[in-house]
A and B are shown apart, each in its own frame.
Chain A
Amino acid sequence: MRRAWPPLALLAALVGLWELIVRAAHVPGYLFPTPSAVASSLADDSGLLGRATLVTVREIVLGYLFAVAVALLIAILLHFSAALRRALLPILVLSQTVPTVLLAPILAILLGYGIEPKLVVVAVVCFFPIVVNAVDGLRSADPELVRMMRTLHGGRLAIFRRVELPGALPAIFSGARIAATYAAVGAVFGEWAGSSAGLGFVILQAQPALETARIFAAVLILSALALCLYALVTLAERLLVPWQPEAHHA
């Protein structure tokens, strides 16, 4: 917790400065709201923002879990098949050059305007860092441990279960933590491509109405959601990788 103080203090100072500058320069609220205006929007629009948050949280969590499951499955397939790895890994890397912003409208056309296209967008942006880190982690098992297993009745499956998979968990969690910071943005892209609810939709509606403070409030909630997901993944790592004395995270 002690590490949290310096950034919090800096953040508080910046927010104070922001309030002062916007007030001193008499910037109109619809151009750039003060932090206090954002705070009152959070309070006044709490019903609207709360409902939107629930929608977006559902998209983030389900899309993220979907991404984790598919990424691990594919990583394991790639790990066991060198041929598949050679064929599929370059395509996966190439697929990352397709901007998600462009993917979202296509998915909306394909999958309609329900929750499905949003889940897929979230999953698509989260998938890549997990799969790449997982494949690397599985492949970087200590060869001496593998040799030891081979002389102790260890077959291919035993080596995977008892050496490669546990050894890859820290790498898998690195990927999962990076992905956690992408999930909220993915949900917003998904909502922008066509939706009638969620924080992305709130932002879209507030823009022509010049409800700038509400946009800021929605963005603030989205950041908080990303932070929560990151914290949850870090907690899961502490529980599932207890042999790592202090994991290499920020």
Chain B
Amino acid sequence: MLGGKRVLDGVDLHVPATGRVGIVGRSGAGKSTLLSLVAGLDEPDAGEISIGGETLPAGRLARCALMPQRDCLLPWRSALDNAALALENAGLPRGEARRRAAPLFARLGLAGSEQLRPAKLSGGMRQRIAFLRTLLADKPVLLLDEPFGALDAITRAELQEWLADALAAEPRTVLLVTHDVEEALLLCERVLVLAAGRVVAELDVDVARNAPRRGVVTSPAFLELRERALEAIG
């Protein structure tokens, strides 16, 4: 209950340890609320949330890294220091934290922006830095709230591929909230459609992913899933 309003109701969800679940739905459906409950930032009024057997909020906080919908970069830190934030929080000296974060800048097309403060960066760059910061926290569970929403279509496709590769190399549990049904279907094994706080559809994505992206997104199986998701969103 938030402000006396029932935001989520009867959501029942099980994700395997290396599973990737997409959550789509209109804005106000309760997607962000679901992520903060899972993260242990809030507690549900009823029901239970367990991550690897850990049900207490502190235990969930220790296992989850949340990339908030707003990038939440710290205005007083450079791009590099923002990306390295979780490492410093974990006790690494600043120099060492920077050394670990720096190589990833080039990989995400951020080379040259290391020393700039967030105010000097575009929305898309800020979002990539927030994404990096979340990955570098090195938690088993990633909660991504519309991580690529501020990016142009080309950069978004590149980052989706990069994320898919990174997750293939180093599997983690991912809850991906997005308003982009295609993105959810491309990156996740299962996609939930949330509407007014309830799960109104659950889709298993069993399309071949190793084919080139264009082939995947135009395959009949993919198109049918997309249709079903869009219909459920309403």
Contacts and interface: CB of A to CB of B under 8 A. Distances in A.
B86 A152 contact: yes
A151 B41 contact: yes
Contacts of B226: none
B72 A153 contact: no
Nearest to B68: A148
Interface residues of B, number: 27
B90 A243 contact: no
A149 B88 CA distance: 11
A166 B85 contact: no
Contact of A145 (B72, B88, B89): B72
Contacts of B65: 151-152
Contacts of B88: 158, 162
Nearest to A159: B89
B137 interface: yes
B70 interface: yes
A23 interface: no
A162 B61 contact: no
Contact of A147 (B68, B86, B117): B68
A169 to B, nearest CB: 8
A162 B137 contact: no
A6 interface: no
A145 B41 CA distance: 12
Interface string A200-213: 00000000000000
B66 interface: yes
Interface string A113-150: 00000000000000000000000000000101101111
A243 B68 contact: no
B28 interface: no
Contacts of A155: 89
Q: What is the predominant secondary structure among interface residues of chain A facing chain B? A: helix
B134 A152 contact: yes
Contacts of A167: 76
Contacts of A150: 41, 61
Contacts of B70: 144
B21 to A, nearest CB: 18
A197 to B, nearest CB: 43
Interface string A178-205: 0000000000000000000000000000
Contacts of A151: 39-41, 61, 64-66, 137, 139, 143
Interface in B1-46: 36, 39-41
Nearest to A145: B72
A145 B74 contact: yes
A198 to B, nearest CB: 40
Contacts of A144: 68, 70, 72
B119 interface: yes
Contacts of B139: 151
A29 interface: no
Interface in B61-119: 61, 64-66, 68, 70, 72, 74-77, 85-86, 88-90, 117, 119
6 contacts: A147-B68, A151-B41, A152-B133, A152-B137, A155-B89, A243-B76
Which 8 residue pairs spanning A and B have beta carbons closest together?
A152-B86, A153-B89, A151-B66, A153-B90, A148-B72, A166-B76, A154-B89, A158-B89
